[in-house]
Amino acid sequence: MAEAEPADEAATIADRVAHAAQDQGLTIAVAESLTSGAIASRLGAAPDASSWFAGGVVAYASEVKFKVLDVVPGAVVSARCAAQMARGAARLMAADLAVAVTGVGGPGPVEGHPAGTVFLAVSSGSEEQVLEHRFDGSPQHVVELATLAALQALLSALGAAG
């Protein structure tokens, strides 16, 4: 049996996130750098998004992270940055839960991190989880895998993994 394509799997997981968020009466926000809006696009296309998806910020430039999301100036390819981005998105959009992604798509390294390094954070106000991933492939493939990982992290935070 062929393995599901990341895009197909992302749509399926986004649907599961939608149902879990609705069932729990929670709102979700995103802050994206590396993924440039791909996570928000998946969530916005999920069922009844207007009832649970608060929105997102694409903060590709470091200054946007600093000025809009209240990230402390410094390295932006880091666990600290991802966590601060998630907290900033949750605050800006008054969301119950937020996911943030920052990293290096490639082809070369950034801030000493090799291409494929991704930090993602999920913040719920009371809890925070930060994950580091290393993905192989083209910049486009890294973005697809980072999007998938962020959706999976959201699903897990909603307690609907499995």
Residue numbers of the domain that contains 111 = 27-157
The answer to whether residue 6 sits within a structural domain is no
Q: Average pLDDT in the 145-161 region?
A: 91
The answer to whether residue 17 sits within a structural domain is no
The answer to whether residue 84 sits within a structural domain is yes
The answer to whether residue 54 sits within a structural domain is yes
Distance between CA 2 and CA 39 in Å, rounded?
Answer: 24
In which residue are the tokens 């069922």 written? 47
pLDDT score of 161: 46
pLDDT, tens digit (0-9, with 9 covering 90-100), for 12-70? 999 999 999 999 999 999 999 999 999 999 999 999 999 999 999 999 999 999 999 99
The answer to whether residue 19 sits within a structural domain is no
Number of independent structural domains in the chain: 1
- Cα distances (Å, whole numbers) of residue 121 to 8, 19, 48, 105, 135: 23, 21, 24, 17, 16
Q: What is the CATH number of the domain that holds 108?
A: 3.90.950.20
pLDDT, tens digit (0-9, with 9 covering 90-100), for 95-137? 999 999 999 999 999 999 999 999 999 999 789 999 999 999 9
